[in-house]
Amino acid sequence: MTHSSTTISHPKDLLTMVGDDLGTSPWVEVGQDRINLFADATGDHQWIHVDVERAKQGPFGGPIAHGYLTLSLLIPLWSQILVFEELGMAVNYGLNKVRFPAPVPAGSRVRVTASLAGAEEVAGGGVQATIDAVMELEGAPKPVCIAQMVHRYYKD
């Protein structure tokens, strides 16, 4: 499957799309430089992430991305799946059911496939959308992250 996206005019269009597959993001590389920068930003310098030589002897055969780095990639990849013609702002409202079934080795590529699990109107004229997101690792049988993203979208 290649990159595919859904374009809608207005956030309220989501109300009629529950159950729809929304698309698949392009692949993005998770390189060691990105992992090191994330470690510096968060203060999480655990050796399985940043000590390349030691990680080669560890349980994963090399360094792996932090789970929260993997999770953070949902937003930029998601933004390439659902496109609004008219959008004032989007607000990250939360996450449900986050799991990391498999690691992301340094230098590998990931992408996200998303479907709309729910949509409802909220105060202020917005729409709250619950999105089922699955992040896959190129060439791997198991996903690396499964999560329900909850976003609020407002036209103005």
> What are the residue ranges in the chain where pLDDT is below 50?
none
The CATH number covering residue 63 comes to 3.10.129.10
Query: Does any domain span residue 47?
Result: yes
Do 98 and 147 touch, CB atoms closer than 8 A? yes
Evaluate whether residue 1 is within a structural domain: no
The rounded Cα 130 to chain-centroid distance in angstroms is 13
Instruction: Tell me if 115 is assigned to some domain.
Output: yes
Q: What contacts 62, CB < 8 A, 6 or more positions away?
A: 52, 55, 56, 105, 106
Q: Is the residue at 93 inside a domain?
A: yes
- Residue 2 has a pLDDT of 82
Residue 148 lies in a domain: yes
Number of domains composing the chain? 1
In a domain, 123, yes or no: yes
User: The domain containing residue 128 runs over which residues?
Assistant: 6-154
Closest CA to 13 of 109, 97, 108, 83: 83
Give the pTM.
Answer: 0.92
Give the pLDDT of residue 1.
62
Residue owning tokens 């655990």: 46
At residue 98's C-alpha, the angle toward residues 97 and 101, to 5°, is 115
